[in-house]
Amino acid sequence: MLTNLSIVLPIFALILAGWIARKTGALSENATREVNRLVVYLALPALLFDIMANARPAEIWQPGFILAFTAGCAVIFGATLCWRVAKGRHLADAAIDGLNASYANTGFIGFPLVLSLVGDTGMAPTLISTILTVCVLFAIAIILIEGGLQSEVRRRDIALKTMRSLAKNPLLVAPALGALVMVSGVSLPAPVHAFLKLLGGAASPCALIALGLFLAGTKAGEASARATTTSILVGLKLIAQPVVTWLIAAPLLNLPASATHTAVLLAALPTGTGPFMLAEFYGREASLTGRVVLASTVLSVLTISAYLAVVGR
């Protein structure tokens, strides 16, 4: 538990820094959106491009792990999407809720946690899960959000406008260009690599500070209005997703114990800041997402520790 706590403490510190900055007036109420736009238009695209461009095809080609982790994400994301749409939720909001329940914080928590618990052998699966989460799952959610926000009556007009919006979205363009670099086998020049590391490294810290800024401006009444929904989404992320991933990895695919353990551990990670960035960027309900990120991060210290106790690690 101490290992888990030491890894998530910097996350709380960054959220607290944003909260204090907003409460003390160091940053204004407009700072949340501006910091988030910095992440969406600069830092996160640089991070996504860097991840894809520097990935090695041979390293990330692990079909069994890919299938287990992807299926776990897909089941939870799809089930949450259908549930929220059935409840009358707008498609754009339902897609964000789907991310709330399935978007694992593989980048900020996954790498240090897996390195400390599994070792170097877990780094490749963690990279794979990061690509699947922040590139593939993120892209699917953006497509659903863009499609849901179009107001044209004719399907052809909706499709054309959605495609134009997607073609200009840096969160989709950046990983696609990075994938082209990966496939081409071209090595990035050292200055470009350093630039991407510096800019991409700001993505997670700035997103967490933006979350703190947002939470500081949330009224107490708003924070308790959707407690039941928050609890369900957190339960889906911290309990349902790792359980579904284990069912797919072990009984169905019969993966080796180490691969199963790594897949379940990554699936059990709390919700990352990606859903919050999208909710804030598209002007959707960000308060629910902010609470899910915060609550899942806090509770993951207990749930991951319980899982490790069960498997004897």
Would you say 222 and 287 are in contact if contact means Cβ atoms under 8 Å apart? yes
pLDDT on residue 71 = 96
Strands (E) across the chain are located at none
- The average pLDDT across 63-77 equals 95
Q: Residue 135: give its domain's CATH number.
A: 1.20.1530.20
**Confidence (pLDDT) at 1:** 61
Query: Is the torsion defined by CA of 19, 227, 298, 271 positive or negative?
Result: negative
Residue in this structure with the two tokens 């403490």, named with its chain if needed = 9
Q: Does residue 105 register a pLDDT over 60?
A: yes
Tokens 């090595």 correspond to what residue?
A: 187
CB neighbours of 233 closer than 8 A, spacing ≥ 6? 80, 97, 100, 101, 271, 288, 292
For residue 53, how far is the Cα from the chain centroid?
19
Tokens representing residue 134 in the block: 């922040």
Is the model's pLDDT at 56 over the cut of 70?
Answer: yes
pLDDT (average), residues 218-225: 55
Nearest to 44 by CA among 164, 146, 130: 130
What pLDDT was estimated at residue 176? 84
Contacts of 21 (CB under 8 A, 6+ apart): 27, 31, 209, 212, 213, 216
Looking at residue 104, the DSSP 8-state letter turns out to be B
User: What's the mean per-residue pLDDT of the chain?
Assistant: 84
What average pLDDT does range 207-233 have in this prediction?
Answer: 75
By percentage, how much of the chain surpasses pLDDT 90? 30
Structure tokens at 171: 């969160």
Residue 30 has pLDDT above 70, yes or no: yes
Q: What is the mean pLDDT of residues 29-41?
A: 84
Q: Which two tokens stand for residue 98?
A: 């789907």
User: What pLDDT, on a 0 to 100 scale, did the predictor assign at position 115?
Assistant: 76
Which of 7-11, 12-16, 19-23, 90-94 shows the lowest per-residue confidence on average (mean pLDDT)?
7-11
pLDDT-based confidence at 26, cuts 50/70/90? Answer: confident
* 223 confidence band (pLDDT: 50, 70, 90): low
Residue 96 sits in which domain range?
2-311
Structurally, the chain folds into a number of domains equal to 1
CA torsion angle 266 270 274 275 (round to 10): 130
Taking only the tens place, the pLDDT of each residue in 138-161 is 888 988 988 888 754 455 555 666
| Tens-digit pLDDT profile for residues 165-216 | 667 778 778 888 888 998 888 888 999 999 999 998 888 788 888 878 887 8
Nearest to 72 by CA among 108, 44, 103: 103
Predicted model pTM: 0.80
More confident residue, 220 or 177: 177
Sign of the alpha-carbon dihedral angle for 84, 100, 132, 211: positive
